[in-house]
Structure 1
Amino acid sequence: MARRRLKLVTVIMMVNFFIFIIISRHSSQDKNGRHKVHIPPKPFWSELVPSPAYCNRQQQILDFHNNPVLAANYSAADVPDWLNETGVTSSPCRPNDKVTTQVKDYNSLPVRFKDFLSFMHCRSYPIMVDQPEVCKDPPFLLLAVKSLAPHFERRQAIRQSWGRAGVVANKTVVTVFLLGNTMAGDHHPDLSGMLQYEGLHHKDIIQWDYRDSFFNLTVKEVLFLEWIQNRCPGARFVFKGDDDVFVNTFRILDFLGGLSEPKARDLFVGDAITNAGPHRDKKVKYFIPESMYVGPYPPYAGGGGYLYSGDIAARLHNVSRHVALYPIDDVYTGMCLRKLGLAPEKHKGFRTFNIEEKYRSNPCAYKSLMLVHPRTPQEMIQIWAWLSSPGLKCQ
């Protein structure tokens, strides 16, 4: 018994000794500095410096005012003047005259840039044509097609083919066409009477009173996101695309039907583009000067068409208020997704840059695809007839 007690006491002493050594090592500092406390080389909250690019700077301003933690580090007197440079005037949809001095090369920019910059702060426009009952019965799939007033032939081809509303493959499908207004300066013929008849007859036209231009497609995006929440919040899924694409509605419905609930809730798929940035070549349609934007683009899906859930639509609507407008709508949607901590998923069924020419007249080439761009109205009707034929057999 004495030996056992002595052995137990010895073990306890040794354990206490090792614990003492370990604690001593961690509480003391090594002469070589290996255990010294590391002090960050610079403050966590660095001084805010305005970006030289106007769109980046507008995003900095929004980030500052929408971040209570960041804003709390500044008293009202300490907030730099540039952080209050919002561009909002007494009448929200009036041109912002201040932008002429806030963009260094404003006077040398093409008219489309001046127009965008002058109205960049404007997000709300009157609705001219609405369809308040179009989603009275919440659809499984809402097809939202960006169109222009003169593009009647394209809209009619879509109605007769992939955008045929009603019940498709036992799922409810609703189609709407999204339009702005034509301006005299853009030299469009006056088609307002025809458009009014078209809207009354088909009940699928949504039109707002703003200038319908390439750079204003982002305006169409934010107005549509608000429209969904007001008129079609129960839509399970949303496809949004151009009026010169062919969409295999059968394939999309089949794809959506096979999704798990978590996957369906966070769905955003399309022809995802990564590692891209603004074009600096003035001859390119997507040219953006450095005075407007610097830095890479977030991952985004090509604007020809993409597919997302109704839940994502609601989240995009909320977060879009915190993202400064950008003149390229698909990039802007990517910016909103980035703000949500999301990114579009690439799906090989979205061919926004067409398919090989040798396959374009083969009906089976379209059976497994969701979208092909571009296609004429005649080609849309032809391809739809192929896919709708019960005799179509593909390997």
Structure 2
Amino acid sequence: MALNYMDCFRRLFLYCVSFVAFTIAMFIFMNLFQDVFRNPLYSLNSDAESRSSYQHTTRDEKGITFFFTSTSKTSAINKNLHDTLLAQTSTVSNLLMKEATIQRKELLTTKSAVTMDTVGSNQETKLVYPLTAFGSPYVLNNDQICVGANNLTFIVLVHTATDHFYRRSVIRDTWANKDILANYSMRVVFLLGRPQDNIKLQAAIEHESSLHQDIVQGDFSDTYHNLTHKGVLGYRWISEFCLQAKFLIKVDDDVFVNIFKLLFDTSTTYKTDKRKLRCYIRMNQTSPIQRKSGKWAVDESEFKNMTYFPVTYCNGFFVFMTTDIIKELYEASKVTPFFWIDDVYIFGLLPAKAGSVTFESIAGLTLSEKDSLECFKKDTPCDYLAGTAVTKGSMETLWYGSIKQYSSLAKAYAKPQLFNT
């Protein structure tokens, strides 16, 4: 029995020694690797000053992914993790996506393609790009407009202002009525931005969109200096939802188009067009850059030391173009620094960046409403293809005048019910 007691005592003593040794070893281990166990995943230590938190963000096609580390400021492990995550974020293919979020907040009323960040005596030029080229640009989007229209002749993009309800209504009921053509097809999209601090106006736009399903509203303030954002939004929308259209008609909401004459020209002269813009052309080095004052005054930092715009571009009130270049123009907007005069950017800088785009002058364009009204009141066909219609009632007058003058073409291209109203 004595031997058994002694044997039990020795075993107990050995167990105690082993436990003490294990505890000491764990204490040493904890001290050696305390940086790891200070991570909040392993510890309840609330001493915020003893840790440094780093956030890394990447943006890809699936959205935004966030990476976090939270370890000791002096930790070698922290440095390794930090460097590893930086390496991961640096592999994102399109670094401009990270700038887009900043631009969306800061550049809603951007007037310049260049901003200057000053650090000490050093100046760094920071290029910015259209807000609608990246991210999610839509406030309202009717993405079914072209669905089912596989043999689509025209997609009409109308640049309109938020409160121009009447102008949009008249365009729908006259020359851009998608239901009037018999053997050809047409769809219309009205492009606009957000009204500035006007909840009632936004509600009215949303109601109009629900009724007609032809509104595309971008996430930018609808101001004159944001027209470039609107133009890029149009290119992007067609690239995403309506590339099956053969031709693009881009107009402002105060422009009338003689759709019957355009259909005749399209079926004859224009039917073989490829990579082409037809418009009133502003040739390279012929359009002066206004510097000091006025609606189109350009800051000295833009097109520096230049007297004329260095690209050929279209006067944008009416542009007729093939859609085979639309996607390239949209992609070009991602790498072409922003410029606020939309005609120069949308129909000049982007085609120049895309390359191999042909400009051709188109006859029958006028900016005189008076001339248009007089011309379409005649008994003989008016030669005008498009003209401004600003005054209330002028769009309807031009429309009925074109039906009368071009009755043979109207009967060939339009449905019979057009003549029963």
TM-score of Structure 1 vs Structure 2, range by shorter chain: 0.5 to 0.7
Once the two structures are TM-superposed, the CA of residue 389 in structure 1 deviates from its matched residue by: 2.8
The whole-number CA distance in structure 1 between the counterparts of 2:211 and 2:350 is 35
The aligned residue for residue 336 of structure 1 is 350
Are 1:232 and 2:246 matched, yes or no?
no
Once the two structures are superposed, residues 330-372 of structure 1 have per-residue CA deviations (whole angstroms, 9 ceiling, x without a partner) of 1002111122143421112222455748935634687332211
Question: For residue 126 of structure 1, what is the aligned residue in structure 2?
Answer: 137
Percent identical pairs in the alignment equals 23
Question: What residue is the counterpart of 1:371 in the other structure?
Answer: 386
Aligned residue number for residue 14 of structure 1: none
Within the alignment, does 1:310 sit opposite 2:323 as a pair?
yes
The 1:391/1:372 distance shift into structure 2, 3 A limit, reads closer
Q: Distance in 2 between matches of 1:391 and 1:233?
A: 30
- Whether 1:327 and 2:340 are equivalent positions in the alignment is yes
CA contact (8 A) 1:256 1:264 kept: no
Task: Report the secondary structure of 1:216's partner residue.
Answer: helix
Task: Name the amino acid aligned to 2:188.
Answer: T
CA distance in structure 2 between the aligned counterparts of 1:378 and 1:385, rounded to whole angstroms: 11
What is the match of residue 154 of structure 2?
141
**1:252 aligned to 2:265?**
no
Alignment partner, residue 230 of structure 2: 220
Change (3 A) 1:358 1:239: closer
Alignment partner, residue 290 of structure 1 = 300
Could you state the TM-score of these two structures normalised by the residue count of structure 2?
0.62
* Aligned match for 1:380, one of 395, 398, 401: 395
Determine if the alignment matches structure 1 residue 205 to structure 2 residue 215.
yes
Whose strand fraction is larger, Structure 1's or Structure 2's?
Answer: 2
RMSD, aligned CA: 3.2
Q: For residues 99-141 of structure 1, what are the alpha-carbon distances to aligned partners after superposition, in whole Å with 9 as ceiling and x for unaligned?
A: 3546xxxxxxxxxxxxxx9975633353121112110113210
Q: Give the secondary-structure state (helix, strand or coil) at the position aligned to 2:278.
A: strand
The 1-side partners of 2:146 and 2:333 are apart by: 23
Q: CA deviation at 1:88?
A: 3.2
Q: Looking at CA atoms only, which structure, 1 or 2, has the larger radius of gyration? A: 2
State the Cα distance separating 1:382 from its structure 2 match: 1.0
* Correspondence for 1:300 among 285, 298, 313: 313
Aligned to 2:201: 191
| Pairs within 5 Å for 1:52-63 | none
The separation in 2 between residues aligned to 1:259 and 1:361, in whole angstroms, is 23
Answer yes or no: is 1:99 the counterpart of 2:132. no
Q: Matched residue of 2:295: which SS?
A: coil
Kindly tell me the number of residue pairs found equivalent between the two proteins.
292
Point out the more displaced range, 287-296 or 140-149: 287-296
**What SS is found at the alignment partner of 2:169?**
helix
Unmatched tracts of structure 2, length 5 or more: 1-94, 119-125, 410-421
**What TM-score does the superposition give when structure 1 sets the normalisation length?**
0.66
Q: What CA deviation, in whole Å up to 9, does each residue of 1:203-245 have, x standing for no partner? A: 1111112111111111111111111111101111100110011
Tell me, in whole angstroms, the C-alpha distance in 1 between the residues paired with 2:103 and 2:318.
Answer: 31
Please list every run of 5 or more consecutive structure 1 residues that lacks an aligned counterpart in the other structure.
1-83, 103-116
Kindly provide the CA deviation profile for residues 257-305 of structure 1, in whole angstroms up to 9, marking residues without a partner as x.
11466x42222101111211311240x2111121222333211111111
Task: Assess if the C-alpha contact under 8 Å between 1:270 and 1:307 holds in 2.
Answer: yes
